[in-house]
Amino acid sequence: MYAAADAALYTAKNAGKDQSRRFDARIVDIDVARRRTTEATRLRAARDLADVAEIADRLRELPLQPADATHPQRVADLAARIAGRLGLTPSEVESVRLAARLHDVGKLSVPREILTKPSRLDGDEWQILQGHPELGHRLLLSLGADRIAHWVLHHHERWDGTGYPARLRSHEIPLEARILFVADAFDAMTSERPYRAALDVDAAVAELLDCSGTQFDPNVVAALVEELGYRGALRLEPAPLSITA
């Protein structure tokens, strides 16, 4: 019934303002309507999860690391700006924004002493931390947010194939995940951390440029560098964008 009502609503919208329509299976594809309704429900659930994750982060981290509490939102805003500069559609940009808000949701299961440790992590601790993309992936899959789950899973893959969890390389990595990685890295570098002071923007940009083509997608780095006002700092041959559904 709800799918039929949704289908009729789309039909009325397409017909113009001040219209009403009854559901008619001859002119409306009920399967398409169901998919639209289901996808919208899943995205709402993912947005609700992002809100809950941010609240949990505030409760857990705010006394120790104030910057961490707003990290997801800062990464989301930056990732959306990069995605827009790379030519993604408004709908795709908003999906990237939501994925960025959720990129570290798997860290909710990582012990606080690991997240706030002021010295280098040992092997076991690093292994636990590296598991957070897979934990976030499983959580998002349980909500049916498959595309966003896929990007979150791969947001620590490196351009040269030495990242985790799957050691994907270059355009094997979803573009959206590459955007998340660069936005996340820039915000992490310019924020205080238990083990180091924040870098200024110039130093962070220099680090991104230095790691462009090894750790990061050069085109994503170029987009961020230009978005930050460093136009002309990096000269690149255009590469095809690879958007993974």
For position 23, what pLDDT does the model report? 39
Contact criterion met (CB below 8 Å) for 83 and 91: no
- Of 150 and 15, more confident: 150
pLDDT single digits (tens) 77-109:
999 999 999 999 999 999 999 999 999 988 888
CATH code, 42-227: 1.10.3210.10
Q: Where do the structural domains in the chain lie, given as residue ranges?
A: 42-227
Residue 63: helix, strand or coil by DSSP? coil
- Asked which of 43-52, 79-88, 140-149, 211-220 is least confident by mean pLDDT, the reply is 43-52
> Which pLDDT does position 41 carry in this prediction?
67
> How would DSSP label each residue in 24-36?
-TTTS-HHHHHHH
Per-residue pLDDT reduced to its tens digit, 143-201: 888 999 999 999 999 999 999 999 999 999 999 999 999 999 999 999 887 777 899 99
Q: Which stretches of the chain are DSSP H helices?
A: 2-15, 30-61, 66-69, 71-85, 90-101, 112-115, 123-130, 132-143, 146-153, 175-189, 201-211, 218-227
Mean pLDDT value across the chain: 78
